[in-house]
């Protein structure tokens, strides 16, 4: 599996991550998702992306069940706080709930899922406290435009490790501003929805 440095963290991380947004609901489907995740990890796909939002915590629980006996240091686990929880206290509490569901002591990177109504300064302060407390190794954001990134950088005293954004062959706008801005500052760009979900483009791409 090809790896790349994850921004300022300097960690080499597989360039293809295992996304866990659309987790199934039935018992047998959950078991098959757990096995799929584990098989992925065994084949080098050790970068796992989740969020408290996914299945309202269920995604994190399934990941926890899939990885509980694997060497933690080999995994790169990313989760995200919902904007509605992203106050100073709320971010810390959300992270602690995520850690519990995942059955781990720390996250490799923790992101603000998208901008909401809590001041960015408050969320960043909480993320930095989580680093100081050893609960996360790095902090990041998601769905941030250049303006949002500039604002975040103003408040942050620790480096921003990543910006997770919508990026695929159909949505290449980030190539104009966001990606160059991030590259200049060593912020890892993680593209989500690489197959563009069920849009006509995805159908075309699959036929092709
Ligand atoms: N930060 C954020 O705001 C955010 C937002 C969205 C997603 N994410 C992350 O990114 C991950 C991936 O996102 P996504 O589910 O939206 O990704 P996606 O690129 O849309 O991938 C899933 C879709 O791709 C289709 N697909 C799978 N293999 C394919 C292939 N070989 N050729 C063509 N199509 C194929 C699947 O179809 P079938 O259903 O038929 O298998 C499914 O509809 C999520 O799980 C999550 O971790 C983050």
Q: Domain extents for the chain?
A: 3-206
**CA 140 – CA 163 distance, rounded (Å):** 6
User: Does pLDDT of 10 surpass 80?
Assistant: yes
pLDDT tens per residue across span 162-194:
999 999 998 999 999 999 999 999 999 999 999
CB 194 near ligand 1, within 6 Å: yes
Q: For 65-79, what is the mean pLDDT?
A: 97
CB 201 near ligand 1, within 6 Å: no
**Rounded to 5 degrees, what are φ and ψ at 170?**
-85, -30
Q: How many CB atoms lie within 10 A of CB 176?
A: 10
In this structure, the strands spanning 3-5 and 12-14 are antiparallel
Q: What is the pTM of this model?
A: 0.94
Q: Give the CATH H-level superfamily of domain 3-206.
A: NADP-dependent oxidoreductase domain (3.20.20.100)
Q: For 63-90, what is the mean pLDDT?
A: 97
CB 21 near ligand 1, within 6 Å: yes
Q: For 136-149, what is the mean pLDDT?
A: 98
Greater pLDDT, 199 or 65: 65
Which residue from 21, 50, 145 has its CB within 8 A of the most atoms of ligand 1, so it is best to mutate? Answer: 21
| DSSP code of residue 187 | P
CB 39 near ligand 1, within 6 Å: no
Ligand 1 geometric centre to CA of 134 (Å): 31
Q: In the annotation, is 106 catalytic?
A: no
Ligand 1 geometric centre to CA of 200 (Å): 14
Q: Output the six-digit token pair for 89.
A: 């206290």
pLDDT tens per residue across span 83-137:
999 999 999 999 999 999 999 999 999 999 999 999 999 999 999 999 999 999 9
Which amino acid residue places its CA nearest to atom 27 of ligand 1? 195
CB 203 near ligand 1, within 6 Å: no
User: Does pLDDT of 159 surpass 90?
Assistant: yes
Q: Output the six-digit token pair for 184.
A: 């200049």
Q: Quick one: which atom of ligand 1 is closest to the CA of 114?
A: 3
Q: How many CB atoms lie within 10 A of CB 16?
A: 14
User: Does pLDDT of 23 surpass 80?
Assistant: no
Ligand 1 geometric centre to CA of 197 (Å): 5
Q: If pLDDT is split at 50, 70 and 90, which confidence band does 200 have?
A: low
**CA 198 – CA 208 distance, rounded (Å):** 15
User: Does pLDDT of 206 surpass 60?
Assistant: no
CB 206 near ligand 1, within 6 Å: yes
């Amino acid at each position: 599996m090809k790896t790349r440095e994850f921004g300022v963290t300097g960690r080499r991380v597989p360039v293809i991550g295992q996304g866990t947004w659309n987790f199934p609901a039935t018992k047998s489907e959950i078991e098959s998702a757990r096995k799929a995740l584990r098989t992925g990890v065994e084949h080098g796909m050790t970068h796992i992306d989740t969020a408290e939002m996914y299945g309202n915590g269920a995604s994190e629980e399934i990941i926890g069940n899939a990885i509980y006996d694997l060497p933690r240091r080999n995994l790169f686990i990313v989760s995200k706080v919902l904007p509605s929880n992203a106050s100073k206290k709320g971010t810390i509490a959300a992270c602690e709930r995520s850690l519990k569901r995942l059955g781990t002591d720390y996250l490799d990177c923790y992101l603000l899922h998208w901008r909401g109504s809590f001041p960015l300064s408050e969320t960043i302060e909480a993320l930095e406290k989580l680093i100081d407390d050893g609960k996360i190794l790095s902090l990041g954001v998601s769905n941030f435009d250049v303006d949002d990134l500039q604002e975040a950088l103003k408040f942050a005293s620790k480096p921003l490790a990543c910006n997770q954004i919508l990026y695929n062959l159909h949505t290449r706008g980030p190539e104009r501003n966001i990606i160059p801005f991030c590259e200049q500052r060593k912020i890892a760009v993680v593209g989500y929805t690489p197959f563009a979900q069920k849009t006509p483009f995805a159908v075309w791409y699959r036929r092709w």
